[in-house]
Structure 1
Amino acid sequence: MMAMDVVDTIRHADRLVERELGGEERQQRLRQRLREIYASQGIEVSDRVIDQGIVALEQQRFAYVPKGEGWQRSLATAWATRGRWGKFALAGVAVLVVGLGAYHITVVAPRQRATAAITQELQTDLPRALRAEYDRVLAGTQEAGPRAEATRLLAEGEAAARAGNLTEARARRTALFDLAARLAAAYSVRIVNRPGEPSAIWRVPASNPRARNYYLIVEALDRDGRPVEVPVTSEENGETRRVSRWGLHVTEAEFERVRRDKLADGILSQPVIGQKAAGSLDTRWTVETTGGTILSW
């Protein structure tokens, strides 16, 4: 205990330590100085105790060395100082929660709904729609060609749906729908015969400037005389559109017959040149035609 007191006396006299321990023979002078300090206090200290105190001081045996910053100390410090940083931490947590909530509402949830909708369409809606359109085709015709086409489209559509190919599955459903609509349509094809509108034209094909192609301008009308739109593909550029009026490629003889008929009195004696019946894709023509068509003239 006395040695500890000696160390404490030396430690609280920083200037004394610096002065007495700074030069040669420091321990001897320090012993003398310590004897004087304790003598002035009426305390008798032996040389052995003083020596033990000096050795302990140099070894820092009685010095307090704080431990390093461990996680337990850090946690305790954080808890003790929570009043200073707690509000900022709560504000940060609130901002994070709001941000995550907004991200979920605006991004995650819509994406999940879209994925669920696509899955529902591929697994249930599209197969059901494909089968329904296929059944419409079979109910609408007894012709082998359209029925075989419907079977092919159904198989391709179902395979695309199983493979997760939404675009291809939808395309086959649309093709079946169009096929059923074309089979259900019934109309007559008439030569256009109105003032200011041509009934027949001829064109010079780009591939052969010496030739001429002859066309009758026709329209599709139902039994009540209303226009019917049908898919028509131009033989000039391959473009396909749904139209009720188009140019039908005919022979020069048919072209001349119609031209002379209209020039005679302005009226066509036989305006109806084709009939398309429900349940069939083909039109029965009463004129000689290549089947080629144009969309503009």
Structure 2
Amino acid sequence: MSDVTAKPAAPLDEIMLAMDVVDTLRHRQDLATRELDGVTREQQLIDKLRAIYHQQGIEVTDDILKAGVSALAESRFVYDPPKPSFGTTLARLYTSRGKWGRPVVGVVVALAVFLGGYYLVYKPYQANIAEQARIELVEGLPAQMDAIYQTIFEETKVQQAVVQAEDWRTRGKAYAAEGNRPQAEAALGHLTALRDQLRQQYTLRVVNRPGVQSGVWTIPQVNTAATNYYIIVEAIDPDDQALSLPILNEETGQTETVAMWALRVPESVYNAVAADKQDDGIIQTNEVGRKSDGFLDVEYLMPTLGGALTRW
């Protein structure tokens, strides 16, 4: 057996009373500081403490009161917070995780979902669209140009259409190779319009309806001594439907798509149409020209001067 005899532990109630004495002194810090400034006054402090507890109906021995006074002097039963440091900061964050944990986790999850969606879905999707657009530009559009050019080559009855088609196809492919999509698409549009123009069939007739003029004349601003004469015409397809066509207005220089326009003709033609209408109100010779399949231009059946108006 060991020669050292262990000191018996103080009973729990005595320890609790000593802690209570310290707590009382801490709440009466002015008293404790004043009394403990001198050791000789320790007995006075003990007497006052005894009186305080006696008023509460608690009897405390001098040993416990002395133990409490000594414990306060030695800072026992007193919590000294740790000094600020990185470790204490982490510890405080950890212990307060119940307050900030859920919001932070929610933000982290939302951020993870956003970043995952952006890099795993949106970015690949955009890259795929960009690649498809690139393939369409360098392969798809030139292939369409070749197909339309071949159609024009096979259907046209005039060499002029082939020359124009070749020019637009060459330009379009060059634009596609440069990565210039707007210009490449514009060239494809011109090829498409040229093909459609070749396929058009209609008869150009003088308009002869009540309330609609069949002819007009104007005095050009650039030459007030001259007079321009026009007959009002419209294009009628094989199904007897009026077509709207792009017409260049010679006075404004603008092209407009219209269903009726004024075609400039010699004065003699203008007078002949006017006389034909005045005869019985009907223009018997109302066919001005014909546009046949495979041709670009109208084949006129009466003299014309080439100019036109879209507004009069």
TM-score (norm 1): 0.68
* Cross-structure match for 1:201: 216
Counterpart of 1:277 in structure 2: which amino acid? S
Report 1:120-199 matches (<5 A). 120-199=135-214
Select 2:299's aligned residue among 271, 284, 296: 284
Give the count of matched residue pairs.
227
Cα distance between partner residues in 2 of 1:194 and 1:88: 79
* Cross-structure match for 2:22: none
Output one character per residue of 1:234-276: Cα deviation in whole Å (capped at 9) or x when no partner: 1111211233321100011111111111111111121001011
Report 1:39-58 matches (<5 A). none
Output one character per residue of 1:196-227: Cα deviation in whole Å (capped at 9) or x when no partner: 11111101212222321110100111123111
Cα distance between partner residues in 1 of 2:307 and 2:121: 53
* Cross-structure match for 1:263: 278
* Cross-structure match for 1:253: 268
Select 1:238's aligned residue among 253, 271, 274: 253
Output one character per residue of 1:64-99: Cα deviation in whole Å (capped at 9) or x when no partner: xxxxx8xxx86x985896454555543332232244
Aligned to 1:290, the other structure's residue is in SS state coil
Cα distance between partner residues in 1 of 2:297 and 2:227: 26
Aligned to 2:251, the other structure's residue is in SS state coil
Confirm whether residue 219 of structure 1 aligns to residue 270 of structure 2: no
Counterpart of 1:293 in structure 2: which amino acid? A
Report 1:64-143 matches (<5 A). 78=90, 82=94, 84-85=96-97, 87=102, 89-101=104-116, 108=123, 111-112=126-127, 114-143=129-158
Output one character per residue of 1:103-157: Cα deviation in whole Å (capped at 9) or x when no partner: 5699746644542342132023212211121122112113211101101111111
Output one character per residue of 1:167-208: Cα deviation in whole Å (capped at 9) or x when no partner: 001001000000000001111100001111111110121222
* Structure 2: gaps (5+ residues): 1-84
Cα distance between partner residues in 1 of 2:207 and 2:143: 42
TM-score (norm 2): 0.65
Cα distance between partner residues in 2 of 1:106 and 1:238: 51
Cα distance between partner residues in 2 of 1:246 and 1:155: 34
Q: What is the Cα deviation at residue 294 of structure 1?
A: 0.9
Counterpart of 2:142 in structure 1: which amino acid? P
Greater shift in the superposed pair: 259-268 or 116-125: 116-125
Cα distance between partner residues in 2 of 1:81 and 1:220: 84
Describe the shift of the 1:232–1:110 C-alpha distance in structure 2 as closer, same or farther (beyond 3 A).
farther
Describe the shift of the 1:126–1:290 C-alpha distance in structure 2 as closer, same or farther (beyond 3 A).
same
Describe the shift of the 1:88–1:218 C-alpha distance in structure 2 as closer, same or farther (beyond 3 A).
closer
Counterpart of 2:150 in structure 1: which amino acid? D
Cα distance between partner residues in 2 of 1:142 and 1:261: 35
Counterpart of 1:122 in structure 2: which amino acid? L
RMSD of the TM alignment (CA)? 2.9
* Structure 1: gaps (5+ residues): 1-68
